[in-house]
A and B are shown apart, each in its own frame.
Chain A
Amino acid sequence: MTDNAIPGPLDPEELQIQYAKSFLLQTDNSGLSLYEHLSALLSRILSERPPNALEVFESLSAELHWSRLKQGSDVLRAPREESHTCRKAEVQRALFSRGDGEGEESEAEGEMTESPLPNLLDLAHLLQQGGVNLGRDEAVRISLALKRLTDTHPLQVCHFWGKILGSGGSYLVAEVQFREGEDDEAEEGGEEEEKGEVEDDVEEEENEEAEDLPPKSTYRPPPVIPKEENGTGANKHVYYVCSEAGAEWVRLPPVTPAQISAARKIRHLFTGNLDAPVITYPPFPGTEINLLRAQIARISAGTHVSPLGYYQFGEEEGEEEEEGAVRDTYEENPDFEGIPVSELVESLSNWVHHVQHILPQGRCVWVNTSVKSEEEEDEEEAEEEEKEEENEPEPEVGPPLLTPLSEDAEIGQTPPWTAFLSTHLIPHYALAVLRSNLWPGAYTVSSAKKFENIYIGWGLKYMPEGYSPPAPPAPQAEYPSGPEITESTDPTVEEEQALKAAKEEAEAAAEEMEEEEDEEEEEEDD
């Protein structure tokens, strides 16, 4: 392009340079020449002056190419840059907006003293010292999400229970108790309907009186163990979960004993979707929402502990009630003096469980399922009743409430708890940290007077030996085994002949007898 040197023959060197430059200036299909590319690249290197220019030369060159390709978006088309981050940010921004009405604010200020909202930042600080990270920002977000929960529901108690990780997403879990009589969403109607449906089906079957019915199964399912009422036992608390701070809180349904005992037999990771089916053997009755509730109940029963003396049994309960009644309520001990942290770490007997143990039956309070309701009894035959009375099951008894941790069973050879001080360098302000080895991820952090339980983990119980699913049950016998239908081996020739001979002999003997008898008769006749 600088072809202004026409006059006079050029010297060969100059000519070479001209040729080389014109080669570099050749453009390819995109209308770009190597000359332009190199000059742009060199000017960028010279302006940025990276320390390792040679090393990054190729990548810088590649980047330049890419940047040229990316420019070509049409002016008319609106750039579509709604990224995930923005959508999440919008959801979270809603958490930070204060109530719109001015009246609400003043109300909120009035309620400030009674609010069940936990001080999550305080909790996060305690946990941070104990070595459990909630994350600074995350703690604020969870706190705001809990605030939203307490604002919209009539709650008496609200705790941040913890977090359960899943393969596709995790759950934040809030443990709440409603104010008495204000639990408007007690979901009992749904299940009653289900039961009704089942009964209808049975009746229909009975009405079908075709002549050639297949034989009816004699299998009788074990009696359904009734679930515990809301507010008692494993259903003492109500749990809300959400996938992320800012997302909608979902109330978990009450847990049934069948779900708890099924959850004990399986090992399953959560997927992060509450409606995901749980496909396992033995089958789990319900979807992930039920499994989550069952695991929460098991984890709470196993790992919610408090320093000895923090809670005490209510005095009303102390009056003698029925024998064998399990005390399931406790109250905060107003005279709790606090236990020195060093003693908390040294001895597990300074810690107690404050959530009831779940019995093998799947309930906290044992129920005798062999006691039938009157209607059922009428239907049944008298014999069976007698039999059942003989096999009256032994009531299952678990450790009572507020049992010290030193009574906990060991897992193989592993102690169930690890206790340590949060710091050895500043023992004056150290905290006692208790880590569950049975439920990895469950932590309890306690200063002398206050404590916090939290669970952050996968919702899996520790198994030292590895899991092996139970074997399928033995196949049922198809027909009653008896001599009429058992196939016998064919007799050999010798046996046949022996049998023949024996028969002949017998016949001969019989004939002889008859003859003799005849003779006798004849004699008598005579």
Chain B
Amino acid sequence: MDAETLSLSLELVSGSGPGLSAEQCAALRASLPLLHRDLRLRRLRLWGVVLGLRGDYVIARGWGGPDLLRGQLSFYSLNCVDWCLLPPATDAHIAQTQGIKGRFVGDPAHEYEYIVRNTAGGGDSALEEELTTHIKEEVRLTGTIAMIDREAAVAPRGAYIRNPLGQVIVNHSFRGLEVSEGKKLSSYFHFTPSLNPKKKSLLEKAALDPSIDFLDSLEHDIPRGSWSLQLEQGDSVLILRSLLWLGMTFYHVPLTPLHGHLYIGTGERNLDLPFMI
């Protein structure tokens, strides 16, 4: 959600429960513009909150370049005033953080013990080595944010376009989804570079627009039913909640360009989802 429309956006996602307190909200409105200015960012958004045992990480997401899918910078703050830059997420980070269980502590310097199983050799003679490595919570945070972005960041269809230079930019003529469109999962896209695009038949491709349909839609997500789409607040807001990352809420007011997503959760993936639906 954009820093400028923070209060409105928080009101729209209020159906999910935990949010930001008035003090945090006010502090963010003072500190985010300064961060925006100091780092010469083009765009800055509040990404969400990762709840820890002793403290909460408030996460902001900034873009230095015009492309909204690349070159993202993540910042965290424990008090909504002082911001620290997170290291860019690499695949190694993400792989490492997958193995860590349990809640975030709330201390970026906290070290997790983490056991790597190396299998040397092949076949039956494989030797299992157990190496204990340490990971800082900061790194885990980076990896988790990247994972959440990869699996649960959402944009409505048409809100972003890919221009001839290949950059993904905001579509200024996006007027919002209609309610009938908004009730279909096919109108929402994963807002992340598509890693393994689904091969579509010619018939399916016929209705697509290459400048709009460059992302994967949520329609074919596995397991089926991993999204909860509802109309809330007197059916005036479309709310899309991820069941895989409980706490991720996407909102969109139909027929307006207002949309965004906010994650307020424990930073743990809901691995039990297949048993729950």
Contacts and interface: CB of A to CB of B under 8 A. Distances in A.
Interface string B257-277: 000000001100001100111
Contacts of B228: 165-168
* Chain B interface bracket (under 10, 10 to 19, 20 to 34, 35 or more): 35 or more
A457 B103 contact: no
A79 B272 CA distance: 47
B277 A418 contact: no
Nearest to A130: B21
Given A133-B10, A138-B233, A441 B54 contact: no
B101 interface: yes
A221 B19 CA distance: 47
Interface in A90-105: 92
B21 A85 contact: no
A463 B272 contact: yes
A230 interface: no
Contacts of A84: 179, 231, 235
A137 interface: yes
Contact of A163 (B11, B17, B19): B17
Contacts of B172: 50, 52, 55-56
A157 interface: no
B230 interface: yes
Contacts, number: 127
Contact of B241 (A56, A165, A418): A165
A127 B110 CA distance: 30
Interface residues of A, number: 62
B29 to A, nearest CB: 15
A269 B179 CA distance: 26
B235 A88 contact: yes
Contact of B23 (A88, A138, A423): A423
A267 B19 contact: no
**Dominant secondary structure at the A interface:** loop
B246 interface: yes
B166 interface: no
A128 interface: yes
B276 A268 contact: yes
B276 A92 contact: no
A460 B271 CA distance: 13
A440 interface: yes
Interface in A125-170: 128-138, 163, 165-170
Interface in B234-262: 234-236, 241, 243, 246
A277 interface: no
B16 interface: yes
A85 B235 contact: yes
Interface string A25-51: 000000000000000000000000010
Interface of A: 50, 52, 55-56, 59-60, 63, 83-85, 87-89, 92, 128-138, 163, 165-170, 266-269, 272, 280, 412-415, 418, 422-425, 435, 437, 440-441, 443, 456-458, 460, 463-467, 469
Interface of B: 10-11, 13-24, 51, 53-54, 79, 101-103, 171-173, 179, 225, 228, 230-231, 233-236, 241, 243, 246, 265-266, 271-272, 275-277
